[in-house]
Amino acid sequence: MRIAILGCGYVGLVTGACLAEIGHSVVCTDNDESKIETLNQGSLPIYEPGLQEIVDRCVAAQRLSFTTNLGEAVRHGDTIFICVGTPPLPNGDADLSSIDAAARLIATESRSSKLVVEKSTVPMQTGQNLARALTIYSRKSSHTFSVASNPEFLREGTAVLDFLHPDRIVIGVNDEQTEGMLREIYQPVLQRSVVPCPVHKGSCPVKEAPTLLVTSISSAELIKHASNSFLAVKISYANLIADICESMGADVEEVVLGMGLDPRIGPAFLRPGLGFGGFCFPKDIQAFIRLGERAGVDVSLLRDAEVINKRRVDQFLAKATHYLWTLKQKRIGVLGLAFKPNTDDIRFAPAIELISKLLQEHAQVQVFDPKAMTKSRSLFPSIRYCQDAYQVAEHAEALLIATEWEEFKNLDWERIKTLMQRPLVLDGRNLLDAQQMQAMGFEYQGIGIPVTQAAAETARAVALR
């Protein structure tokens, strides 16, 4: 089928490339001409494992192209996926002006009837407003527009895998014809017949075919927001348990392991640490709070989850202060900048907040991240960007682990110990084994693992602030 993608961010690029990979003819466009230029030069504006290979193959097969000509892209697609950004406004609401602009573009540039699919994360009822906007902006034309919601559940770092091997595909539609078109688009994924699968190179693990859930447009929109907010609440819950463990002398890793063995709870998203970041959870929970308030519903559960999350970095910093007494002029190494491993995305990354606060305390900060250094340089021009984790350790009085990159786990920690001025490791992601680190002679402190009375008191003082 002929598909247009409006917006070449994470969602748009992965969606466009994967739809081309499963056989469709896809044209992607974006307001940001430099992004399209980068793509047309054969590079990607983001790092996402496996994506480059798919883009290269589909461009060569002429199933995927990128254009700055927005109208041309609109006219190419019988189905148009809106993948534009919906960033937070100062009051927490999602800024939907790019969706409105996309509706105007589609309405004015179309020369035939279209199916318009909202893929961007949007508050409930956006589909209704989108349909209305398309009707208003196209009042001089005879073309019709049907609207659908098809929320994405892609995680950065595993987005290609998530697209090609989803657990579920949700489509919110108003009519059977639209449902039929979306079924056809996703047929290879639904039938698990993507051959050869670019992720597993032809040997995909045995897994049940994804469920295709057909709902109303409003329900589909809500499924996305409710899912992200639930996961955010789950993480904050794990962090609350971690705080109790740390103060009272239990080990959170044992506790969440025990909890996760209950299939009603499950082990996923119970990893305690510096909290959730990225461009999805922090903004989505805020937008969901606003939506609930407008619906007249008590959203204090969501608000508390957000508050717990916002405290994580301060509590971690309090721990660093406890160990180092004062941070001023102390050389501190930070491992990790990205909001999670396997991405170069630093938006709302706890590591970024941590570094800002270390700088406010006049610490001397040196950092390394396998992928996110380039994106961080303009934010913090004065800190030291190191070639690798070993350079970060040089003369440091503490190493703070902010992102759980697998390669940090596999470092030569004996060597790190000899490089550091003081072998103090504060692990904000519980990446390392506490006993092993202590046996090696490190002063090591994770999250939610019993600490000395004094450290517990400092953390509690911050929590009560």
Nearest distance in Å: CB 282, ligand UGA: 9
Nearer to ligand UGA, 152 or 369 (CB): 152
Using the contact rule CB under 6 A, the part of the chain among 176-184, 259-267, 277-285, 442-450 near ligand UGA is 277-285
Nearer to ligand UGA, 180 or 267 (CB): 267
Q: Which amino acid makes up residue 199?
A: V
Nearer to ligand UGA, 235 or 424 (CB): 235
- Which of 66, 186, 281, 385 contacts ligand UGA by CB under 6 A? 281
Dihedral sign (CA 376, 380, 386, 391): negative
- Asked if 121 is part of the footprint of ligand UGA (rule: CB under 6 A), the reply reads yes
Residues 373-432 that bind ligand UGA (CB under 6 A): none
In whole angstroms, what is the distance from residue 213 CA to residue 219 CA? 11
- Which of 277, 333, 336, 428 contacts ligand UGA by CB under 6 A? 277
Nearer to ligand UGA, 28 or 270 (CB): 270
- Asked if 278 is part of the footprint of ligand UGA (rule: CB under 6 A), the reply reads yes
Compute the radius of gyration of the chain from its Cα atoms: 24
Whether the CB-CB separation of 242 and 448 falls below 8 Å is answered with yes
Nearer to ligand UGA, 195 or 268 (CB): 268
- Asked if 276 is part of the footprint of ligand UGA (rule: CB under 6 A), the reply reads yes
Would residue 280 show up in a list of annotated catalytic residues for this protein?
yes
Whether the CB-CB separation of 408 and 298 falls below 8 Å is answered with no
Torsion of CA 64, 65, 70, 75, to 10 degrees: -50
Nearest distance in Å: CB 243, ligand UGA: 14
- Alpha carbon of residue 333 to chain centroid: 25
Nearer to ligand UGA, 299 or 431 (CB): 431
Bridge partners of 26, per DSSP, are 3, 64
2-6 and 25-29 strand pairing: parallel
Nearer to ligand UGA, 351 or 424 (CB): 351
Longest dimension (CA), the chain: 75
Nearest distance in Å: CB 261, ligand UGA: 16
Which of 58, 245, 280, 386 is catalytic? The answer is: 280
Using the contact rule CB under 6 A, the part of the chain among 20-28, 56-64, 276-284, 381-389 near ligand UGA is 276-284
- Which of 22, 154, 334, 363 contacts ligand UGA by CB under 6 A? 154
206: left (phi over 0), alpha (psi -120 to 50) or beta: beta
How many residues of this chain interact with ligand UGA, rule: CB under 6 A? 21
Nearer to ligand UGA, 146 or 309 (CB): 309
- Which of 15, 98, 138, 228 contacts ligand UGA by CB under 6 A? 228
Nearest distance in Å: CB 234, ligand UGA: 7
- Which of 280, 358, 402, 424 contacts ligand UGA by CB under 6 A? 280
Of 115, 130, 113, the closest CA to residue 182 belongs to: 115
With residue 441 as reference, give the H or E element that holds it.
none
Using the contact rule CB under 6 A, the part of the chain among 47-55, 228-236, 383-391, 411-419 near ligand UGA is 228-236
Q: Where are the beta strands (DSSP E) in 195-312?
A: 211-215
With residue 169 as reference, give the H or E element that holds it.
strand 168-172
With residue 427 as reference, give the H or E element that holds it.
strand 424-427
The b-or-e profile of 150-175 (16+ CB within 10 A means b, else e) is: bbbbbebbbbbbbbbbbeebbbbbee
- Which of 181, 235, 335, 363 contacts ligand UGA by CB under 6 A? 235
In whole angstroms, what is the distance from residue 120 CA to residue 131 CA? 15
Instruction: Give the count of alpha carbons within 13 A of 349, CB side only.
Output: 28
In whole angstroms, what is the distance from residue 465 CA to residue 344 CA? 33
Residues 421-460 that bind ligand UGA (CB under 6 A): none
Residues 309-368 that bind ligand UGA (CB under 6 A): 339-340
Residues 124-153 that bind ligand UGA (CB under 6 A): 152-153
- Asked if 371 is part of the footprint of ligand UGA (rule: CB under 6 A), the reply reads no
Residues 254-273 that bind ligand UGA (CB under 6 A): 269-271, 273
2-6 and 79-82 strand pairing: parallel
Nearest distance in Å: CB 94, ligand UGA: 12
- Alpha carbon of residue 440 to chain centroid: 34
Q: Which two tokens stand for residue 240?
A: 């609350």
The site for ligand UGA (CB under 6 A) is made up of: 121, 152-156, 228, 231, 235, 269-271, 273, 275-278, 280-281, 339-340
The catalytic site residues sit at: 280
